[in-house]
Chains A and B, each alone.
Chain A
Amino acid sequence: MILSRTAKAALAAVTGLVLLVIYAPLALVVVNSFNTSRSFSWPPDGFTTKWWNVAWRNTEVRDALGLSLQVAAVSTVISLVLGTMAALALQRYRFFGRDAVSLLIILPIALPGIVTGLAFQSLFKSMLGIDLGFWTIVVAHATFCIVTVFNNVLARLRRVGGNLEEASMDLGAGTFTTFRLVTFPMLRSALLAGGLLAFALSFDEIIVTTFTSGTSRTLPIWILDHMFRPNDAPVVNVVAAALIFASIIPIWIAQRLSQGNELVGAKT
């Protein structure tokens, strides 16, 4: 390698510094959730677990969390089914408008969220006259969650090719038997990765949700609603800290997966 010893040391130092800056804000939120001061003055005044207790008893937070989990679960299931079907169709068959379809699937992620949100709102409210609520959020979320599943499955299909399936068919297995015994096992880890991403994406989404949720409140909407109220600050902070801890879960799952790399790299 051409880098001199000093250059390497400098690179390491810069990298360390940036990593420090990446984690400092997250650490601050966690520290503040145990801070006795309501206004989070720095350095912290003292240690308390009072806010965690208060947040735990807050029914609004629990309801919002429940709604978020439900929306994320349903959107993930929908996007797993549709994303897999779309990927299979695009990889296995050539048909008219194939490129247009793949562009269409990527579009909801490529366009700014506010455009997608606004488009859905005008579709639901002015064109279809549907009341905004659980299902409008799910439809909007599923639309952009499909992309993650689609990308993961498509990448896997490209890698493994169609030989195994052809072999299975030659040996007399029907379409469904082949899917159950050959295609699905090949796709399993890709589906898990895509599904996990879809779940995280939906759970975290706020912009499209703002436009499609009406009066129901998911957890991100609740946080945003209460963030600017000084009285609620400690509870908001505890929720934020809890979410930081929760984000370790998908990383942990990614590590448990044998193809861990695929999952961590999947969000690009």
Chain B
Amino acid sequence: MLWLGVAYLVALGGLFVTAFWTTNEFSNTLVRVWNTDNFEQLFTLDVYRTITLRTIGVAVAVTVIDAIVAFPIALFMAKVASQRWQRIMLIAVLMPLWASYLVKAYAWRAMFSSTGPVNSLLDPLGLHLGYGLPATVITLAYLWLPYMILPMFAGLERVPDSVLEASADLGARGGTTLRRVILPILAPAVFAGSIFTFSLTLGDYIAVKIVGGTNQLLGNAVYDSALTGSNLPFAAALATIPVVIMLVYLAAVRRTGALDEL
């Protein structure tokens, strides 16, 4: 029954063993000698440090944007909308989740194209937003937004109205209630959502290809060295970076109780 799980574990294990091998520069064949050259290269070459930092930056930006955008929608859905509207909006928010990832990224390629709607709006203002990092961040934030709205909505729905009324009765204004009652309760849900937005961004290389111009993220570097450069050991070493970042992130978020919200 667990053959797939075993196959997967063997594959993962194999991958990380491969990270300690090298390829022969002339014949491009695997040299199965244990060494840490790949990791030394990773730490000494500036390119990879830049790419790693850029990837983390994009992941943080995407997560923050999603959290900010998702909050009013989740609040509206949970506390303002009637039952019927809540249901309609849940579907409206989730419909795009079912649409193909590729189609959505492609849609943003059309939005940001030099003759597309975004630039036909911006051109009169003397601005231009072409393919590049900002476009990547917007596209990724768009792609992962439902993953942030849903846990937030679930978290807010669990806050009883009586708690908010109690806060108001004790003299707190809307802003104070928001800051001292709603946000602390909501924190685990936000972190739960951020696990998705963060890990999905770390592993992504296709959206960057589609709307990112010439910019590269970690995923692209892994992809390039695995398929184009056919240097599997180096790709494997590179791939450990997002895994390590994700493990550190999970460990950090675990304290907030976010894992129970998944």
Interface on A for B, CB 8 Å cutoff? 1-4, 7-8, 11-12, 14-15, 18-19, 21-26, 28-29, 32, 39-43, 82, 85-86, 89, 101, 104-105, 107-108, 110-116, 118-123, 126-127, 139, 142-143, 146, 200, 203-204, 206-207, 210-211, 220, 223-224, 227, 236-237, 240, 243-244, 247-248, 250-251, 255, 264-265, 267-268
Asked if residues B15 and A118 are in contact (CB atoms below 8 Å), the reply is: yes
Specify which chain A residues have a CB less than 8 angstroms from the CB of B117 in the assembled complex. 24, 28, 42
A244 touches B5 (CB 8 A): no
* Chain B interface residues toward A at CB < 8 A: 1-2, 4-5, 7-12, 14-15, 18, 30, 69, 72-73, 75-77, 79-80, 89-104, 106-111, 113, 115-117, 120, 142, 145-147, 150-151, 154, 161, 164-165, 167-168, 174, 177, 199-200, 202-206, 210, 219, 222-223, 226-227, 232, 235-236, 239, 242-243, 246, 262
Q: Cβ of B7 and Cβ of A28 under 8 Å apart? A: no
Taking a contact as CB atoms under 8 Å apart, the answer to whether B7 and A204 are in contact is: no
- Tell me the dominant secondary structure on chain A's binding face: helix
Pick from B109, B165, B223: contact of A114, CB below 8 A.
B223
Chain A residues with Cβ under 8 A from B145's Cβ? 22
Q: Are B5 and A104 in contact (CB under 8 A)?
A: yes
Quick check: B106 and A22 within 8 Å, CB to CB? no
Given contacts A11-B72, A24-B111, A89-B1, contact A268 B150 (CB under 8 A): yes
Give A204 Cβ to nearest chain B Cβ, in Å: 5
* Distance in angstroms between the alpha carbons of A55 and B183 in the assembled complex: 50
The 10 A-B residue pairs with the shortest CB-CB distance in the complex, in nearest-first order? A112-B203, A25-B107, A123-B11, A119-B11, A41-B115, A247-B99, A247-B98, A2-B168, A14-B72, A119-B15
**Alpha-carbon distance between A12 and B9 when the two chains are bound, in angstroms:** 47
* B13 to A: closest C-beta gap in Å: 9
Give min CB distance, B173 to chain A, whole Å.
9
Q: Given A14-B72, A42-B120, does the pair A264, B1 have CB atoms closer than 8 Å?
A: no
Number of A-B contacts (CB under 8 A): 233
Taking CB atoms, residues of chain B closer than 8 Å to A121 are 226
A1-B164, A123-B11, A227-B210 known; A244+B99 contact, CB < 8 A: yes
Interface centre among B99, B142, B165 (most CB of A within 10 A): B99
Q: Are A115 and B15 in contact (CB under 8 A)?
A: yes
| Residue of B93, B113, B117, B146 with most partner-chain A CB within 10 A | B117
CB distance B11 to A126 under 8 Å?
A: no
A4 to B80, CA, bound (A): 11
Given A11-B80, A15-B89, A146-B4, 16 extra CB contacts under 8 A? A18-B69, A86-B1, A104-B8, A112-B203, A112-B204, A112-B219, A112-B243, A112-B246, A114-B239, A116-B8, A119-B15, A122-B11, A127-B10, A139-B7, A240-B106, A268-B262
